[in-house]
Structure 1
Amino acid sequence: MKNKDAIVFLRWVALCSVVVFAFQMASANAATATGAGSSAAAPIYRTWAKSYLRATGSIVEYDSIGSSAGMKKIQQNAVGFGATDVYPREEDLINGDLVVFPIAITGISPIINLPRIQNGQLRLTGEVLSRIFMGEISHWNASEIAELNPDIVLPDLAIKVVVRADGSGTTYNFADYLAKTSQKWKSTYGVKTTIQWPDGFGSFKGSDGVSKAVRDTVGAIGYVDYGYVAEYGLTAIQMKNSDGFYIKPSLSSFKSALKNSEWSAKGKFNNTLTSKPGKDAWPITMGTFVVFPRMAKNAEQTAAALQFILWSFFNGDTLVQENNFVRLPDRVQASAFRIMTSIRDQSGMPLNMELMSLPAVSKGE
């Protein structure tokens, strides 16, 4: 359990790390910051971008194209930063000379469209969910679902499964969870950003595409980042967690999963956050990450992106929660700051840095 002194100390460490190599704040004439990748994290980047524009006069352009495409963009030096919901493979970081750190925590919510079923009413287990997404359970009144929901009159409707068509970090974390709860899923589909889904599934690009398809299709089930549940008025479900409790997706249940992970205990963030212990832990919690070149080929492009991310770290805690994300633990924030300040230009010099007065760190929880 973190106490007040520990939080203050960690904030101080992070602040000192940044002050030593602080970024010059962007001005109205600075280069446009560009980023691409995760559709799950798109709401938070766009909210930060609006606030950043008001505060600094500098523009941020973010392209929500999916985690896999975002990684390709940063590897090609086509954007200032890449955004992904999957911690990159070590060989990709080494071969691409890239660095990575998280920016926030969220959760994946299975979503449904069933008549007379309320938000958070339906219950499923990981095993049953995996069988639905393997095409083995085809109707909503199947015995496997009915046994978990004795108080609900389930409709005799065909299940219409909606999935991601593009390479997706949301898909990766969803598959990671299913692989931990179903041996058949693990051996048949594994854990990937792109899945070879069974025939007959509806495939759509981005979290927006999945959200709209489920919202507009009676009998549908899909999976999206939690923030899209509220944005599109979607119906979420309860999931049985690793401690045997049925839990609804919420910021508090994401925090519970985070609390029982190495992210909080050790400040390490290369492990997924699925199936973490805890009575109140949401089983499909995930982190979302930003990727930068270790040595910038385009110093102006990288510096503009770093200035935006740095500003967001110092000013964006409230905006994180408003977008249904969870702020990073202090240890992880400190690690992220150190990584940011390690990025150099091709000559090995810090990018557009000078000592300055930094904006106050926004209060965490």
Structure 2
Amino acid sequence: MKNTWITVLAAAGTLGAAGAEQTLNGAGASFPAPVYQNWTYTYSQSTPSVRVNYQSIGSGAGVNQIKARTVDFAGTDDPLTLEEQQKAGLLQFPMLTGGVVVIVNLPGVRNAQLKLNREVLADIFLGKITRWDDPKLKAVNPSLTLPGMRITVVRRADASGTSFIFTNYLSKISKEWTEKVGAGSAVKWPVGIGGQKNPGVCNNVARIRGSIGYTEYTYAVEANLSMAVLENRAGKFVEPSVKTFSASAVNADWKNAPGFYMVLTDQPGDESWPITGVTYILIRKDCPKNVKDAMRKYFEWCFTTGSTAAMKLNYVPIPGNVIELIRKEVLK
């Protein structure tokens, strides 16, 4: 699968607008960009009368653009509350579920070998654990020979929904993180160097020995980066996969989520991946009827035909009963 979605993105950039009667422009989160680029390209080819574009610029920038009316829809992994949606004249609905993973560049350590419990993970990003041979890391990984190297933390430099998911999780597992840093798409990081969007974080981790960062799962797979095994809420160490992402989402009560606001980090269950996130779409309440009709058809296609591509790219499609809620409350 390596570089599959990158190839699609390149092809999408060459797709001409000739013959298209309508263009839909979207921008925002890089978390779902691999599948969004696949969808926009495939849909635009199969529906010549409509061209759909999506720019991966980060959740924060995407929200700003939909508020400024410069795009027709925005992608964000940092959901807006119902009050925030109403104030901005926006509607929100979930599009996909996926996982944020911890990536490392550690000599001699392969994928899914390094274990990180909740305390150790938080302490690394707080800057309290600064070396890979720290006794706390050794205690969790007795079978690994950890090098005597300094830890380089890599985090996002831009306002990021992926950062929101990650820092939201750290806030749930560490009182110190909550008090000193908190959760958000842009926080004051205690330590680390920044990377632009998910690819920037992956590139930095790939080139810096002894580094650790976080990214969306598909980016880690595409970049062939080693991922850590994490301790979940049940005290079990789990590997990131579509199966463990799905386990986190199984009990989501969307019917009682005002404005479809929900955060799926640190869910119960032996198989639940602890840093599971939902990525959302934002549209304007007052968008022109022809634009809303075109978006309704496009998103219906994404929910149905597009679900196969989503699963191939390691995302979890939204369940059918939730799609029905979205149809009734947003895409009506």
TM-score over 0.5 for the alignment?
yes
Could you tell me which runs of 5 or more consecutive residues in structure 2 were left unpaired when the two chains were aligned.
Answer: 1-17
Selected match of 1:50 from 41, 52, 56? 41
Q: 1:50 to 1:109 in 2, by over 3 A?
A: same
Residue in structure 2 matched with residue 254 of structure 1 by the alignment: 245
| Deviation sequence 1:301-354 (CA, Å, 0-9, x none) | 554444322221231110110111001122211112223433xxxxxxxxxxxx
**What is the CA RMSD across the aligned residues, in angstroms?**
1.7
Residues 287-302 of structure 1 correspond to what in structure 2 (within 5 A)? 287-296=278-287, 298-302=288-292
Of 27-36 and 147-156, the range deviating more from structure 2 = 27-36
Cα distance per residue 1:104-123 (max 9 Å; x no partner): 10010010000110101100
Partner of 1:198: 190
Report the counterpart of residue 346 of structure 1 in structure 2: none
Q: CA deviation at 1:299?
A: 4.7
**Aligned partner (choices 169, 179, 199) of residue 171 of structure 2:** 179
Tell which deviates more after alignment, 229-238 or 310-319.
310-319
Q: Which residue of 2 aligns with 1:7?
A: none
> What residue is the counterpart of 2:115 in the other structure?
123
Kept in 2, the 8 Å contact 1:267–1:332? The answer is: no
Corresponding residue of 2:130: 138
Gaps of 5+ in 1: 1-26, 343-365
Quick one: distance in 1 between partners of 2:221 and 2:205? 14
Distance 1:119 1:314 in 2: 33
Give the secondary-structure state (helix, strand or coil) at the position aligned to 2:44. helix
Residue type of the partner of 1:144?
Answer: K
Post-superposition shift, 1:28? 4.3
Aligned length: 313
Question: Matches of 2:107 and 2:33 in 1, distance apart?
Answer: 30
- TM-score calculated relative to the size of structure 1: 0.82
- Is contact 1:306-1:340 (8 Å) kept? no
Q: Aligned runs of 1:94-133 on 2, under 5 Å? A: 94-133=86-125
State the shift of 1:260 in Å: 3.0
Structure 2 distance, partners of 1:340, 1:94, is: 13
Distance 1:72 1:338 in 2: 26
Aligned to 1:234: 225
CA distance in 2, matches of 1:127, 1:338: 43
Larger Rg: 1
SS in 2 for 1:290: strand
1:170 aligned to 2:175? no
Question: Given that residues 102 and 289 in structure 1 are in contact (C-alpha distance below 8 angstroms), is that contact kept between their aligned partners in structure 2?
Answer: yes
Superposed displacement of residue 51, structure 1: 1.2
* TM-score (normalizing by structure 2): 0.90
Corresponding position: 1:318 with 2:308: yes
Q: Deviations over 1:259-317 (max 9, x none)?
A: 13324x86774221111111111000010000001111x55555444432222123111
Q: Deviations over 1:204-229 (max 9, x none)?
A: 11001101111111111000011111
- 1:92 partner SS: helix
* Pick aligned residue for 2:329 from 330, 335, 339: 339
Give the one of 174, 195, 209 matched to 1:218.
209
Partner of 1:29: 20
